[in-house]
Structures are given as C-alpha cells and as structure tokens.
C-alpha cells in the first residue's frame, strides 16, 4: 500500500518539546482534510480498529496507563488532549518527542494508523 508523503510536524522536529499548535490553524485543517480523504480511500482494507484500540490501551498504556490516565507518560484522555490538533498528535505518534521517553512509532505503524489513533484519542468518551 502506498504511504502518504512524509510530513513536517512542529512537535516532531528540533531538540525539545515545542508548544503544541492550537486547533484549526489553516494549514493543519487542510492537511487533516487531505489525510482524511486519503484515509477513507484505504481504510476499508488496511485499518483494523480493534487491533489499534488494543495497541492504544495495552502498548501505549505501558507508559500512559491502561485507561490512559497517565503514568510515566502524560494523561491521554480526551479532556486533556482537546486543545491539541489531531494532526499534531499524529506527528507526535509517528515521530516521538526528542529528549523524552516518547518514541517514534513510524517504524511500526502507518501514517493512516497514527491518524486513526489521534482521532480516537480525541473522540474518546470522558471517563
């Protein structure tokens, strides 16, 4: 399956954690739309929501907690993340945050999967 082109995301470049971009900046909306279009084109035969949910709770959960309330890594519940743009979260998932314990997941998952996870995190019901 063809992967989308590599994107530059604020939080993924440079040496330290940058301020996270607010939601609805124009370029990110465009980018998100582009990703959504691309995702829906491939979604049916590539994404496995149950496997991704399992990954989020079990494997992201090793640092962020099974219920995503945080641990060594920060709280990932939707009420905590709501100020972040889905696209920025996608970038953090794919490329990690240098000088922190957040690793890049790009070697293990596709950009579409990272995008799915970012949206899943933002859309979770408040617990």
Partner 1 sequence: MKHLVIGLAASLMLTTAQAEPTATGDLGLVIERAKGSVLLVDQSDRAALARIEGLGDLSHASLVYSPDERFAYVFGRDGGLTKVDIVTRQIVNRVVQAGNAIGGAISDDGTLVAVSNYEPGGVRVFDADSLEMVADIPTDSKTIGLVDAPGRRFVFTMWDTGETWIADFAKGEPVITKIPDMGKNPYDALITANGRTYITGLFGEDGLTALDLWADIPEPIRVLPDYGRGQEEMPVYKMPHLEGWALTGREFVLPAVGHHEVLWIDADTLTETGRTQTHGQPVFAMARPDGRQVWVNFAHPLNDTIQVIDSVSKEIIHEFKPGPAVLHMEFTPRGHEVWISVRDANKVMVYDTQNFEKLREIDADSPSGIFFTARAHKTGL
Q: Where are the beta strands (DSSP E) in the chain?
A: none
Among 32, 65, 76, 117, interactor with partner 1 by CB under 8 A: 65
Query: Are 109 and 23 within 8 A, CB to CB?
Result: no
Tokens 């440079």, located at residue: 14
Size of the residue set binding partner 1 (CB under 8 A)? 20
Report, in Å, the least distance between residue 30 CB and partner 1.
30
Among 9, 21, 31, 61, interactor with partner 1 by CB under 8 A: 61
Find the Cα–Cα–Cα–Cα dihedral 63, 66, 68, 74, rounded to 10°. Answer: -20
Q: Which is nearer to partner 1, 22 or 54 (CB)?
A: 54
Does the footprint of partner 1 cover residue 91 (CB under 8 A)? Answer: no
For residues 2 and 73, what is the distance between their CA atoms, to the nearest angstrom? 32
Report, in Å, the least distance between residue 75 CB and partner 1.
9
For 78, 102, 117, the CA distances from 6, given in Å and listed in that order, are: 26, 19, 17
Q: Which is nearer to partner 1, 22 or 99 (CB)?
A: 99
Show Cβ contacts of residue 64 under 8 Å, excluding neighbours closer than 6 positions: 70, 71, 73, 74, 75, 76
Report, in Å, the least distance between residue 71 CB and partner 1.
6
Q: Which is nearer to partner 1, 41 or 51 (CB)?
A: 51
Q: Which residues bind partner 1 (CB under 8 A)?
A: 58-59, 61-63, 65-67, 69-72, 96, 99, 101, 103-105, 107-108
């Amino acid at each position: 399956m063809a992967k989308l082109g590599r994107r530059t995301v604020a939080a993924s470049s440079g040496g330290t954690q940058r301020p996270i971009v607010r939601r609805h900046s124009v370029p990110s909306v465009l980018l998100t739309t582009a990703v959504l279009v691309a995702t829906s084109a491939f979604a049916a035969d590539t994404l496995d929501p149950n496997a991704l949910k399992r990954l989020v709770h079990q494997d992201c959960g090793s640092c962020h907690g099974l219920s995503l309330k945080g641990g060594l890594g920060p709280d990932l519940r939707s009420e905590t993340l709501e100020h972040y743009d889905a696209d920025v979260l996608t970038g953090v998932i794919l490329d990690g945050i240098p000088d922190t314990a957040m690793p890049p997941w790009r070697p293990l998952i596709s950009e579409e999967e990272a995008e799915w996870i970012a949206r899943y995190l933002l859309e979770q019901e408040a617990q």
